Amino acid sequence: MKELKKPRADSKLKNLPDLIQEGFWLLLHPSDAETPAYTLEDLGGEVFDKHGISVAVSTLSEWRAWYSLKRRMEAAAERADQARLELAKDPNITPADIERVAQTVFTAESLQAGDVESYVRLAKLNLARTKQALDRDKLSAASKTQIEKGLDALFEEIKGNKKAEAIFSQLQEVVKKA
C-alpha cells in the first residue's frame, strides 16, 4: 500500500506532531456548520502565534493538499485493515487471499478519493512483484534442471559401487526436500 513520501527535514509544517496538524486541518475544515472555517491567511497567523513559525500562504496551500492526501491514504489503509480483520475470521481464506482483498479495498478507496497517481504506482508495484515471482520461478526451474542433470551424470559415474549408490540415494532425498 502506498505510503506518503517522508517529509523533508526542513518542512516545518509537515514535521509538526500529528495532533497539531490535525488541529490546523480542523481550523480549515470545522466539524460543525456554525464554526467559520479559517482562510489560509488566518491559519498562517495561527501558526505564527501558537508555534512561532512564519509561513507563506503558498506553503500552507501545499501543506493542505499534502495533509488531505495523507488523511485519505490513512483512511484507505484503515479500511483495508478492517477488511483484513474480517477476512481473518474465516479459516478457509488464505493469507495471500486476505492480502489480495485488502489491497483491492485500499485501491478502491484510493481511486474513490481521486488518487489515480497512487493507483498507478500500486499497479506498477504489483506488476513488478509478479514479474519478480515469475523470474524467481524460472530461475528455480532452471536450477532444478541443472541439479537433476548433475545428479544423473554423478549416478553414471558411481553406478555399480553399492556404497556410493547408498550415499547418492541419501543425496537425492536431501535434494528433493530442498
At residue 1, the pLDDT reads 45
At residue 42, the pLDDT reads 93
Q: Decide: pTM greater than 0.85.
A: no
Distance CA 36, CA 27 (A): 8
Provide CB contacts within 8 A for 117, sequence distance 6+: none
DSSP-assigned letter for residue 10 = T
Q: Where are the alpha helices (DSSP H) in the chain?
A: 18-28, 40-51, 57-88, 95-112, 116-158, 162-177
At residue 101, the pLDDT reads 86
DSSP-assigned letter for residue 38 = P
pLDDT tens over the chain, length 178 residues = 445 567 777 678 888 999 999 999 999 999 888 889 999 999 999 999 998 989 999 999 999 988 888 888 888 888 888 888 988 899 998 988 888 888 888 878 777 766 667 667 666 776 787 788 888 888 877 877 888 888 888 888 888 988 988 888 888 888 877 7
At residue 2, the pLDDT reads 45
Distances (CA, A) of 91 to 79, 81, 87, 97, 98: 21, 17, 9, 11, 11
